Amino acid sequence: MSKNNLKIGIIYVFLGIILAIYSISQVESKLNALLFGFAFALITPGLIMIIKFFYWTRPKNIPRYQEKISQEKIMLHDELQVKLRDKSGRITFLFGLLIGSISIFIFSILNALDIVISNRLFIIYLGLYFILQILIYLITYYKLSRRY
């Protein structure tokens, strides 16, 4: 495992701690909760990167890590896998276009009827849309890989 992963993990944790301290020390502000969320969104992957670095650099885990890396390289460059990833990405993109078009239509109707959508509801909608995109990609990739 590269030392670059360790450095990036340390930087993430350091930036997360700075954001956490800043959000805690601030006088009541509307951004405190958001900054605190960003802080832990940086700290968590940073700690995971650091733990993975120390786990995979242990002498007893090095052969397993080499095998894992060689398997990842094979899967990454395998022509069938590349084709399946491309096809599931295309299907997900087309589904996203469909959902986006339907959303524009529905929000236009709601706007014409003077029905106000709160910012929180719209943010939740976009978050669910994002999660749905990921799930559709994974499901289509899984279904296509089972077919071939």
Does residue 65 share a domain with residue 90? Answer: no
Which residues constitute the domain of residue 32?
3-71
Q: Do 41 and 95 share a structural domain? A: no
pLDDT at 140: 95
Q: Kindly state whether residues 57 and 92 are assigned to the same domain.
A: no
Ramachandran region, residue 117 (left: φ > 0; alpha: ψ -120 to 50; beta: rest): beta
Pick the last residue of a domain from 71, 97, 120.
Answer: 71
Domain check: are 7 and 39 in the same one? yes
Could you tell me if 100 and 61 lie in one domain?
no
pLDDT in tens, 60-94: 988 998 998 888 888 778 888 889 999 999 999 99
The b-or-e profile of 116-145 (16+ CB within 10 A means b, else e) is eeeeeeeeeeeeeeeeeeeebbeebbeebe
Q: Which of 21, 44, 71 is the last residue of a domain?
A: 71
Question: Domain ends where: 45, 71, 97?
Answer: 71
Domain count for the chain: 2
- Please say whether the beta carbons of 5 and 49 come within 8 A: yes
pTM above 0.75, yes or no: no
51 and 85 co-located in one domain? no
Residue pointed to by tokens 């954001």 = 19
Q: Do 101 and 121 lie in a common domain?
A: yes
Q: Are residues 42 and 58 in the same domain?
A: yes
State percent of the chain over pLDDT 90: 53
Q: Residue 130 pLDDT more than 90?
A: yes
103 shares a domain with 64:
no
Report how far apart, in Å, the C-alpha atoms of 114 and of each of 102, 109, 118, 119 are: 18, 9, 12, 15
Above 90 in pLDDT, residue 1?
no
**Count of CB atoms situated within 10 Å of the CB of 39:** 20
Confidence of residue 138 (pLDDT cuts 50, 70, 90): very high
Query: Which residues does 95 contact at the CB level (< 8 Å), separation at least 6?
Result: 133, 136
> Higher-confidence residue: 147 or 7?
7
**Taking each helix axis from N to C terminus, what angle separates 79-112 and 119-147, rounded to the nearest 10 degrees?**
150
Does residue 59 share a domain with residue 27?
Answer: yes
The reported pLDDT for the residue numbered 76 is 79
